[in-house]
Structure 1
């Protein structure tokens, strides 16, 4: 590791100047606001609490007379299924979704017939029995119909109707009509208020844990500079999203928000379990992209556990890649579950076998646990498998290009490119990845590549949150220094012996590593 250096004072008569890169400010705020409004993105699909909802009060009707309720639900589905346009297989309104799926018959008396049936992983006891009878030929083609109620901890969240219409001698069209109950306006207002509070908390968290550290950095650079005699510093801001992703309160809030919106989650399940209308499938996948917080929560829990175990190697996952992967795969993964017999049986057992429910009802609480666990465990499995398939290289054997790859992820490369790419031919800026002579700092990431336990959050890479400082002397770019927040490190911290704007890591690969903290309890390490 590089030994600590004393502060090199600028030439006589020179004054240090510090400015913020304006393009990086815009990029950083854009990423931050995207994370802050994430709770409110639910209203892309959900109605705002003050919007009038055209829903029927099925909870009251079905609580009085279930037979009349079943007939009314079937009649509603029959009538609104006429709205499916020719060549389409889906129609939906403010409080209902209806899909049509062609299913081949003559499958024999086997549960494999359920793989063809739509949303079969959510069937009640009665509906699964009738579906198997239809597939075995014991039930006439046009005689299949039924209603099941999806409840969450005993409270109705959706009413789903299925019926068949004979399409040919060897197939039937299965219609699925999902209708949502009418909830109290107070419930919608409470949910909206909670989402606004989470948004405000995220904004406050970004200021306290991230942006305020830049004001501290500017002050220290003016007073102490860096160890290179530079007189001009340009600060390139990073992405504050990592601060949010590792916060357990935010993850818990999103988990609570999801389970409080099981009604709309049920709608998405109906839409995503069909692929005839890819536009509807895509919109449902967009809503399910909110499940990426399950992945972040799972990585947070895994980080805490693996830090205690200290024997399992784990490849820290890039948060941006994880978000993109979960957002894109949430819909296809859900569809795949509806076409996999093991998953169909597992969800059926969770909905009807763990607790006693009526034969026309499923309890979705345990089904939600399975679904959330699936999303949460996938990135954990990737992080554990990656080191087994590709062991990490020794930090001393890394080339310049490999070292840059260790200290930068995809999002950080994009941020640096946007901040440093010249918009005017006469302006020249420091290259972002050309040669190591222009790059300094990033010591923590190189060290953590060899010793992952030095990361405070073992399972997630926070490279995109790094700050980069362009150090200029005599009007020419001299060096780009990478700085990491102490918040992401798990190393002992001691005050630096010499005055310094930022901290440095001392020690070598054979001894203990210690952070010598910069002046005024600097939150940055070089």
Structure 2
């Protein structure tokens, strides 16, 4: 028999050849998936080739609408566009235009009737606001073109996604048939233009993200598949396919499978691809706009190819559904789908559905409503919000495969029985390219996507004749059900003669009614001479070096790494609110004297920020061009005479930036408030001044406060009984300083990563290697032992490090100017969105609390007062400060006593000759820091009076943990082991607080849990604590004579603890013994 063409030749003892076709299909399939993020650039612009960005710096919507509409009508009209063109893409500036002719004299009683009867298929229909719909339908009701005022028939609006502007659209109508250049009194031409907003920094970040995603895909497919294939090939070349090589085979051919199913079912890969699509919402909007138009078929096909990326919505839904089905044991209610068929179906169904959105009245009305329902009432007709529509579109695309899977499973259940299959055949495969799953779907690890295509075929030849064919399946596709004794897959006592594991049913598998397995059997894989090839073992290390399989618990590992990333990224996360060094304006406050500085800056801000330049109705705005925070507030004149303290208490609370005012500004405002009307103030130009903000004598910015007559916020400038207070803060940025801060933050982040590796993760890796090599006990019992490691949360190790806490503390203090901006934004009461965003920045103040805990820990240990303080949960500290900090900040500007206190603190260090010219923030910052620190310290010193009875605490349990880890571990399956060990470290420090290495921060979250399975059954659970948790220098802990029963240290507690219940003082000396393992270990039971 002649085999297929091959691409590789190897020498004795056994020759193995790769099938070229199978290898090519496998590699091409992986390249197709991995290149999906980067293929988006077939339709998108590269960051370095983007069109000119549209700078949206209009003062208000009226100015924006007038200028943008005039610009579009001038640039895209009958004389500039090709005759007959219904679609035009101006790639030079990124404008996409579509036109359509509409017949006039089309009366309609409502907007819904107008959409269903006359507007279906109109360009960009689903994006219209109610104002644009009313405009178009109003024109259509006109009897002819002469009855319409065409100069007013147009409007523009902004497109937003989650509050961020992604583009703007303009719609206008002209008389006649402008497409055919025909004058027709009974027709009008509708023109719709969409302009994408591009942010260079965002485009570069998205490119880096896509490259990282592509690299992640290649790594996953190598780590989980191709690496195993190479190990299989090496083993076959060295030993053949079975012991004794019977029948005699001299050569082999390996048909590599398609590993893409392993990528599609991975929830992290699917989520990364979905986020990539959602981050390109503006490009999706362009593709939807192109797919709903009917004029240009070529453009329609290009948009269809771009929308094919939405297949990842379906893959993501399948990955999520797989987790839910496994968790709730509903695998039999879903029929696995072929990923290739899913891709083909969504490639057809997605663009078809997109086209129907603009051509079927109910769908068009539904999506038009989703794009406008989240828009605030004061912005209706001025913008659309695409978040809800995008979510609905995602769910609809995802619903196709989920509907098929549930329906097919229901039909199979209704028919009953399982069709006969030759499971070893090539034909039992996915369209593109196991009996136990058909009998009981609960054995599927991935119940939503078929993984059959990942199988490899090994063809065994004796000379030219094919003797045997082996179908090899990854064990990772099988759910071993270690925690379910009814379904657990155990190890057979007799090894198989083959190189791979063999799954053997103990007896014929009877089927119950409707395909439900009754009774459920146990399936047993037979090991191949005690070792299986990496291809089928799916292990992390070569099997020759690994006696006991160990896997990491994914949820525990995710929580651990997510916590680490959260801490390590905190310095760089500041740039979500701050400018990066290479962006943002660089300003200074250099002036010859205060008079010239005040005159120059006050004139500048009055010219930039007034009634004609600021949007009407907006009380707080940020001028990102000059990095200026501008706030306005109405003050009512004619207030009765009052002292400065009474004026401050009754009329000034809640004013923007109140705590930064000098006494001069307080007097100025109170004097104006007592004026009967605006005419009583002789010179409004004199009612204002500027002052410099300093921190440790260094200028960090300047503030200008001025008053103008009338209500300039709403436009009622002629009101005589009110005045408008204007407050503008400009940050001073030094180029050298911002770059130094950037490198300082990089160094801090690197130090956190390095410390986490050296103090925690490398010990976890060493623990894994030792357990894989020697098991968990010094004398292992008989049976097939396997392990699951739940990695702990190491963030407490960072929090208790005084050097890292001080580094984070200094980072916040060195960003005093940005902290001042956040305080300003929190204390204002008009823009709640800005307040909420600044609260996230102020959450960094939690490091004040952690730094305070480190300092107190040092003194408690030095003075032997550990028993006076109850260790705190770092997660609860973060949550408390995230609420307490912004709340305190808000009260600083809205509670008279606190506002007056801080206002005096910012002025107390200013020399008398400079009062009113500057403020000094250092004392106020110290007080703010101390107040933030005080909350966890107050709890820590008060809690020892309410200690729990130590006998009521299960120290070995998952529940004895920090809040975040306790909640995460509760999401895992219930682990009921026959024997549990560990927790003695926590019992010891609870009995004798002098043993705590850090008496202020709880370290219980750093513990790892090792779950020990024997023959698939959970037998033992070990809670492992780091020895460094104990302060062995303060309390003598002797080494026991006998070694530990485990490969970890064992802390032996005294039989009777001397600590008296309710006692706050240290206990008497107790005899603790540490049983050492045969090899040193940093872990302790």
TM-score range, shorter chain: 0.7 to 0.9
Q: 3-state DSSP class of the match of 2:752?
A: helix
> Bigger CA drift: 213-222 or 34-43?
213-222
CA distance 1:376–1:171, shift in 2 (3 Å): farther
Distance 2:1053 2:1003 in 1: 23
Counterpart of 1:343? 898
What's the CA shift string for 1:267-317, capped at 9, x where partnerless? 112211112211100111111111111110011111222232517632221
Distance 1:324 1:523 in 2: 31
Contact 1:81 1:98 (8 Å CA) reproduced: no
CA distance 1:90–1:338, shift in 2 (3 Å): same
CA drift of 1:213 comes to: 0.9
Contact 1:159 1:180 (8 Å CA) reproduced: yes
Structure 1 residue 372 corresponds to structure 2 residue 929: yes
Structure 1 residue 93 corresponds to structure 2 residue 623: yes
Counterpart of 1:501? 1047
Q: Within 5 Å, give how 1:16-35 maps onto structure 2.
A: 16-35=548-567
Distance 2:575 2:997 in 1: 34
Counterpart of 2:726? 175
CA drift of 1:59 comes to: 1.6
Contact 2:654 2:828 (8 Å CA) reproduced: no
Where structure 1 has 5 or more consecutive residues not aligned to the other structure, the ranges are: 1-10, 422-430
Q: 3-state DSSP class of the match of 1:459?
A: coil
990, 1002, 1026: which one pairs with 1:449? Answer: 990
Q: 3-state DSSP class of the match of 2:868?
A: coil
Distance 2:985 2:1028 in 1: 12
CA drift of 1:134 comes to: 4.3
Distance 2:1038 2:770 in 1: 18
Counterpart of 2:576? 44
Distance 2:656 2:636 in 1: 12
Q: 3-state DSSP class of the match of 1:327?
A: helix
950, 974, 977: which one pairs with 1:395? Answer: 950
CA drift of 1:21 comes to: 2.8
Structure 1 residue 68 corresponds to structure 2 residue 614: no
CA drift of 1:370 comes to: 1.1
Structure 1 residue 522 corresponds to structure 2 residue 1081: yes
Distance 1:80 1:255 in 2: 36
Q: 3-state DSSP class of the match of 1:498?
A: coil
What's the CA shift string for 1:193-219, capped at 9, x where partnerless? 111111111110000000011133234
CA drift of 1:485 comes to: 1.2
Computed over aligned residues only, the root mean square deviation of the Cα atoms, in angstroms, reads 3.0
Q: 3-state DSSP class of the match of 1:64?
A: coil
Contact 2:619 2:631 (8 Å CA) reproduced: yes
Q: Within 5 Å, give how 1:313-352 maps onto structure 2.
A: 313-352=868-907
CA drift of 1:36 comes to: 1.3
Distance 2:788 2:980 in 1: 14
Contact 1:320 1:411 (8 Å CA) reproduced: yes
CA distance 1:271–1:26, shift in 2 (3 Å): same
Q: 3-state DSSP class of the match of 2:589?
A: helix
CA drift of 1:18 comes to: 3.5
Counterpart of 1:251? 805
Counterpart of 2:585? 54
Q: 3-state DSSP class of the match of 2:609?
A: helix
Counterpart of 1:282? 836
Counterpart of 1:129? 667
Q: Which has the larger radius of gyration?
A: 2
CA drift of 1:450 comes to: 4.0
CA distance 1:364–1:452, shift in 2 (3 Å): same
CA distance 1:131–1:505, shift in 2 (3 Å): farther
Distance 1:46 1:524 in 2: 42
Contact 2:799 2:805 (8 Å CA) reproduced: yes
CA drift of 1:377 comes to: 1.4
CA distance 1:477–1:365, shift in 2 (3 Å): same
The two structures have a TM-score, normalised by structure 2, of: 0.43
Counterpart of 1:241? 795
What's the CA shift string for 1:156-214, capped at 9, x where partnerless? 1111112234447776443211011241x222211111111111111100000000111
CA distance 1:454–1:160, shift in 2 (3 Å): same
666, 677, 702: which one pairs with 1:159? Answer: 702
Q: 3-state DSSP class of the match of 1:461?
A: coil
Contact 2:589 2:702 (8 Å CA) reproduced: no
> Bigger CA drift: 39-48 or 73-82?
73-82
Q: 3-state DSSP class of the match of 1:147?
A: strand
CA distance 1:399–1:124, shift in 2 (3 Å): closer
Aligned residue pair count: 494
Distance 1:340 1:498 in 2: 64
CA distance 1:69–1:331, shift in 2 (3 Å): same
Structure 1 residue 305 corresponds to structure 2 residue 859: yes
103, 112, 119: which one pairs with 2:649? Answer: 112
CA distance 1:399–1:36, shift in 2 (3 Å): closer
CA distance 1:438–1:327, shift in 2 (3 Å): farther
CA drift of 1:249 comes to: 1.3
CA distance 1:135–1:443, shift in 2 (3 Å): farther
CA distance 1:415–1:440, shift in 2 (3 Å): farther
Contact 1:127 1:148 (8 Å CA) reproduced: no
> Bigger CA drift: 493-502 or 464-473?
493-502
Counterpart of 1:428? none
> Bigger CA drift: 231-240 or 188-197?
231-240
CA distance 1:81–1:239, shift in 2 (3 Å): farther
Where structure 2 has 5 or more consecutive residues not aligned to the other structure, the ranges are: 1-492, 494-528, 531-546, 712-718, 1059-1069
Contact 1:395 1:447 (8 Å CA) reproduced: no
692, 697, 700: which one pairs with 1:149? Answer: 692
Contact 1:100 1:174 (8 Å CA) reproduced: yes
CA distance 1:159–1:303, shift in 2 (3 Å): same
> Bigger CA drift: 143-152 or 271-280?
143-152
Structure 1 residue 226 corresponds to structure 2 residue 755: no
Structure 1 residue 413 corresponds to structure 2 residue 966: yes
Structure 1 residue 487 corresponds to structure 2 residue 1024: no
Contact 2:866 2:994 (8 Å CA) reproduced: no
Distance 1:519 1:100 in 2: 72
What's the CA shift string for 1:102-146, capped at 9, x where partnerless? 455636222424434332222223223324444565996766423
Counterpart of 2:410? none
CA drift of 1:447 comes to: 3.4
What's the CA shift string for 1:369-412, capped at 9, x where partnerless? 11111111121112223334xx112212x065x97476222222
Contact 1:103 1:116 (8 Å CA) reproduced: no
Contact 2:857 2:998 (8 Å CA) reproduced: yes
Distance 1:442 1:138 in 2: 74
CA distance 1:234–1:66, shift in 2 (3 Å): same
Contact 1:153 1:363 (8 Å CA) reproduced: yes
Counterpart of 1:470? 1011
CA distance 1:474–1:364, shift in 2 (3 Å): same
196, 203, 222: which one pairs with 2:746? Answer: 196
CA drift of 1:335 comes to: 0.9
Contact 1:467 1:482 (8 Å CA) reproduced: yes
Q: 3-state DSSP class of the match of 1:48?
A: coil
